[in-house]
Copies of this chain bind each other. A is one copy, B any other.
């Protein structure tokens, strides 16, 4: 298929290359020209604007940072909407607001353009290895049509519901990851404060009811005090901020997520935004004077 790919960041670049590898014709656009070099080398076609890329494709993927970025890419000057043909499908794989997503889908629909929201989890490693989890919102028939494109980038691909449902699932994902990280961080800190080896406690807990991927992966980062990302604190802060904004819109109290918002804010305040978000451990340690 002819696919446009807008957004050549740490995620977009390998995803575009994987589409090319799977045999699709890929038109790429990134704000900074140099980010397109590697995908072009892999056989993608360089485009000067989102509109130019969109004009040549039946499927237009957007992978940028936040709600305003997606709005700009879709409806700004030389944006996707200015180039895309009626009948084409926009797939927004960024993590943004579910309510904004529904609005964008409506605006595109008015121009005869279909939309799916399809945020991912799995980080840059998942993007490179084409093992992303993809959470999709939108019409089932549109989902079926673009499935081969998803399969070139991910493994666990689930259509969760209608427009926005993918973003809702991603919001849920980020809540669970953040709150579980806090539980693991507090538990390992309790162990250390008691003079019990946290690594032994993690071992004892791994097989049982307290076991999780977070205990495994983030738990290891916390034990090693090594927060090389992975998934950056500043992005997790952005995502939990979306959760908190949406919670306010809906009238929904989320005390666990709210606590994690504060911890992520605290990490930003200490200049730790570039660390993996497992660094919430540092906040738990700092609070009780247990910095390593």
Is A94 interfacial (CB-CB < 8 Å)? no
Taken residue by residue from 233 to 267, chain A's Cβ proximity to chain B (1 for < 8 Å, 0 otherwise) reads as: 00000000001001100111111110100000000
- Total interface residues on A, using CB and 8 Å? 68
If A176-B183, A183-B178 touch, whether A196 touches B165 (CB-CB below 8 Å) is: yes
Indicate if the CB atoms of A209 and B177 lie closer than 8 Å.
Answer: yes
Among A194, A251, A287, the one with the most B-chain Cβ atoms within 10 Å of its Cβ is A194
Indicate if the CB atoms of A211 and B209 lie closer than 8 Å.
Answer: no
Is A172 interfacial (CB-CB < 8 Å)? yes
Is A204 interfacial (CB-CB < 8 Å)? yes
Indicate if the CB atoms of A190 and B246 lie closer than 8 Å.
Answer: yes
Q: How far is the CA of A165 from the CA of B173 in the complex (A)?
A: 33
Indicate if the CB atoms of B158 and A209 lie closer than 8 Å.
Answer: no
Q: How far is the CA of A257 from the CA of B257 in the complex (A)?
A: 14
Is A226 interfacial (CB-CB < 8 Å)? no
Is A161 interfacial (CB-CB < 8 Å)? yes
Indicate if the CB atoms of B256 and A179 lie closer than 8 Å.
Answer: yes
| A11 CB, nearest partner CB in chain B, Å | 15
Is A268 interfacial (CB-CB < 8 Å)? no
Q: How far is the CA of A176 from the CA of B190 in the complex (A)?
A: 11
| A187 CB, nearest partner CB in chain B, Å | 4
Q: Which of B121, B204, B212, B288 contacts A213 (CB 8 A)?
A: B212
- Chain B residue numbers with a CB within 8 Å of A164 are 194, 196
Is A42 interfacial (CB-CB < 8 Å)? no
If A180-B180, A209-B173 touch, whether A200 touches B251 (CB-CB below 8 Å) is: no
If A205-B176, A214-B209 touch, whether A169 touches B182 (CB-CB below 8 Å) is: no
- Chain B residue numbers with a CB within 8 Å of A257 are 186
- Chain B residue numbers with a CB within 8 Å of A217 are 209
Indicate if the CB atoms of A210 and B254 lie closer than 8 Å.
Answer: no
Indicate if the CB atoms of B204 and A135 lie closer than 8 Å.
Answer: yes
Is A12 interfacial (CB-CB < 8 Å)? no
| A8 CB, nearest partner CB in chain B, Å | 24
In the complex, 16 of the A-B residue pairs with CB atoms within 8 angstroms, ordered by the A residue number, are A133-B208, A155-B207, A156-B208, A161-B195, A161-B196, A169-B191, A169-B205, A172-B210, A173-B187, A175-B183, A175-B186, A179-B180, A180-B214, A190-B243, A210-B213, A259-B259
